[in-house]
Every structure is written in structure tokens, then in C-alpha cells.
Amino acid sequence: MTIESAQVGLRSTRERAHSRCVVCGHANSLGLRLDFSASDDGYVQARFDCGRPFEGYAGIVHGGVIASLLDGAMTNCMFARGIPALTAELTVRFRHPLVIGTSAVVRARLERSTPPLYVLKAEIVQDAQVKATACGKFMEYACQPVEKRKTAARNTDLGHEEHRRDADAPLGAGATVIQRAAMRGMEERRSYE
């Protein structure tokens, strides 16, 4: 993948699927509006101005804001591949305080791809020091207009017994894609422990 194609994928997927995101959505006037860009080393990154509105304890950025930044970077890394995805699991490690008043860079890269499940890593660097890291698991997300999602949810609730039977079945021929991916994720987690 070239930087140019990654950048096109990043922008078009974000605009199509995520334009109102609090971290990166440019249509959200109250959001952070981070502008992620792809780099030739496989990362996406954005600069974040650590201002007072994001303060938790005196002089440091709130941990929830840090987690959101890391999650947003990993999401945009998926966008660079043209894949909308939802966070399935997010583990954050706070290494050093992220200081108010100094800008930082948040960046992410893809670690492993077993569609529809993806594992990514992200970090926030300030003054050449890694302040926080994250590992996230993401599931592909088929973006649909809200009405289509509501209709699909109603149809599931109104008695598609076959779907219910498959959802309750042990993993076998009738298992859903999400069940299979969740089981792979649990197996991967056990292998890391």
C-alpha cells in the first residue's frame, strides 16, 4: 500500500463512516478534529495540543482523553486500509503523565490481521518520551444508514428463529462470524497470558 492510497482510504472512509467522531470527525464542532495522516512506516499519526480543557489532575491530561486518543488513532489506522471497524477490546497502559501545555503525537499501526478481527497498537509520544500505549482488537463494521440498522435489529427481534438458534449454538456450522471471531480472540488472549 502506498502512502497516497492509505491517505485516500483514511480520508474517504472517515468521511463516509465516522464524520461526527469526537476524536477525528471534522463535522463535529465540539470534537477534537484530529487530522490523522499515513506515513511510509505503516503508522497513522496526528498531533494533539494538550490544552487545559483536557486536564484531569492538575497539569496532566485526563486518562479518559488519553484512551480516546489511542482508540481514535487505531480506528484511523483501519481507515487507512479502507476498513471501518469497531473497537472490541482496548487495553491502555499509562507510562508517564501526559503534560498540559505541550503538544504530543498519537500514532498507531496494524499488528495482525485475521479478518474480520484486527489487532493494533498505538502510543502517545510527548517530548520524545512514550507517555501511554494501547493494544486494541477491532472488528470490521459494515456501515449502514441508521434506518437499515434499525430495520435489521427489528427483524432480529421479531422472530428470526434460525438466527437465534445459530447464535445460541456451540461453535460449529451454524456459528456467526462474530462468534467465531470472539472465540479466536479468546484463544489469542490465552496464548498471550
- Which amino acid is residue 193, in one-letter code? E
Task: State residue 170's pLDDT score.
Answer: 47
Residue 180 has a pLDDT of 55
Three-state DSSP class for 74?
Answer: helix
Strand, coil or helix: what is 115?
Answer: coil
The pLDDT of residue 183 is: 57
What pLDDT sits at residue 36? 93
State the burial class of residue 50 (Cβ atoms within 10 Å of its Cβ: 0-12, 13-18, 19+). Answer: buried
Neighbours of 159 (CB within 10 A): 9
Cell of 66: 488519553
What structural domains and CATH numbers belong to the chain?
Answer: 3-140 (3.10.129.10), 146-192 (no CATH)
The tens place of each residue's pLDDT in the chain, 193 residues long, gives 788 888 777 777 778 877 888 898 888 888 899 999 999 898 999 999 999 999 999 999 999 999 999 999 999 999 999 899 999 999 999 999 999 999 999 999 999 999 999 999 999 999 999 999 999 999 998 875 545 545 544 544 444 333 333 344 344 454 455 555 555 655 555 554 4
